[in-house]
Amino acid sequence: MAPFGKHPRTIVHDGQPFNAEPPLGLLRRSFITPGEVFFSRNHGSVPEVDPDGYRLAVGGLVERPLSLSMEDLCGGFPKSEVVAVVECAGNRREGMMEVAPIPGETPWGAGAVGNARWAGVPLREVLALAGVGDGARHAAFVGLDEVEGEDGSFPYGGSVPLEKALGPEVLLAYEMNGELLPREHGFPLRVMAPGYYGARSVKWLSGIELRETPSENHFQASEYKLFPPNATEETADLSEGLMLGEMQVNAAVCEPGEDEESSAGPVSVRGYALAGGGRRVERVDVSQDGGETWTQADLGEGAEEPWAWTFWEATIDLGPGEHRVVVRAVDSSAATQPKAAAEVWNFKGYANNSWHGVRVVVR
């Protein structure tokens, strides 16, 4: 049995911290990803939080510091809903590891992504009650988990620019898919910052601090940063690098699976595509010859929604032999995906949005 009630077919990368993803065929079954299928990305413990004793502290550059109970949050503010895709910045790291080694990092396939219906309080409603103070430029979040560090344990944290924090789509979520958050997804309260990599959607939220600068938490200041291709773990200055925020346009073939055998004739190809920053998936191109020629997939659920992923499907006609079936998406700002992981390789293995493909064998 996989822990935390996960689906039995879950691919568990680590037990502690718990990191797991679903196989792609399972992921593609449902536009709304069930909690038991949704990937798990943890950096430390999965805390068990007593909702009755829970308090959210709102402070820093605010006019009125707040301490809010779950009752305050659920009863005192409007409830808002968003269907949002969450992608781990390390999604598809496996593809980068084929270019050059990335030691010490989880070899995520293309399943470190999920799409759920989140409900909760718009963060901006809470910030309006607290009053945004002069000089505030970032909203920093901190969790209740415990991450093992060199000098003892510390909680996970991260931040988003204030401009993002004030967007109507950013929630302090207490529900996932119509139910209270599963413990492993941040019960009783988590940030949901749609359009951003999941790293900023802090789980088991204990505090919000408005600041002039981004969070100084390890995971904002030194991790989840995009370093140049020539930087290495030894040479990189961790205080530099680009703090990751908006997701890059990305797509994956979920069905057929890698190395799957098929009979000759029409084959249905299905997958997901996503865009960051409120951009939509505009077009999905599918190739059956590794990118020499292309056809357009039909866009299904999610194509009209800015924060959700988009399901796509195409029928291709395959003759006997081996085929490399490849996908790439174009977003509403006309941004598209690079061909090879080598083009975007970085020593942390983040943000691999190169063309995704599978080998299909027709006997």
Nearer of residues 204 and 345 to its own copies, judged by Cβ? 345
Q: CA dist 219 to 25, 239, 246, 304, Å? A: 31, 11, 16, 33
Least gap, CB of 243 to its own copies (angstroms)? 9
* Rounded CA separation 328/336 (Å): 7
Nearer of residues 72 and 246 to its own copies, judged by Cβ? 246
Least gap, CB of 95 to its own copies (angstroms)? 16
Least gap, CB of 334 to its own copies (angstroms)? 5
Least gap, CB of 256 to its own copies (angstroms)? 22
Nearer of residues 262 and 333 to its own copies, judged by Cβ? 333
Classified as helix, coil or strand, 152 is: strand
Least gap, CB of 248 to its own copies (angstroms)? 6
Nearer of residues 49 and 84 to its own copies, judged by Cβ? 84
Least gap, CB of 292 to its own copies (angstroms)? 10
Cβ atoms of residues 314 and 294 within 8 Å: no
CA atoms within 13 A on the CB side of 326: 17
Least gap, CB of 326 to its own copies (angstroms)? 12
What are the residues facing 266 on neighbouring strands?
A: 317
Cβ atoms of residues 15 and 3 within 8 Å: yes
Least gap, CB of 13 to its own copies (angstroms)? 24
Cα 74 to chain center, whole Å?
25
Nearer of residues 205 and 252 to its own copies, judged by Cβ? 252
Residue 69 identity: S
Cβ atoms of residues 191 and 200 within 8 Å: yes
Nearer of residues 208 and 341 to its own copies, judged by Cβ? 341
Q: CA dist 325 to 97, 110, 275, Å? A: 20, 15, 21
CB neighbours of 353 closer than 8 A, spacing ≥ 6?
92, 248, 249, 250, 337, 338, 344
Rounded to a whole number of angstroms, the distance between the first and last alpha carbons of the chain is 36
* Rounded CA separation 111/92 (Å): 8
Nearer of residues 222 and 295 to its own copies, judged by Cβ? 295
Strands 281-287 and 295-296: antiparallel
* Rounded CA separation 24/5 (Å): 18
DSSP label of 212: S
Interface residue list for its own copies (CB under 8 A): 226, 228-230, 242, 244-246, 248, 276-277, 282-283, 285, 293-296, 330, 332-340, 343-344, 351
Phi, psi of 121 (to 5 degrees): -95, 130
Query: Quick one: CA dihedral 350, 351, 354, 359, positive or negative?
Result: positive
Least gap, CB of 146 to its own copies (angstroms)? 29
Nearer of residues 68 and 89 to its own copies, judged by Cβ? 89
Nearer of residues 52 and 292 to its own copies, judged by Cβ? 292
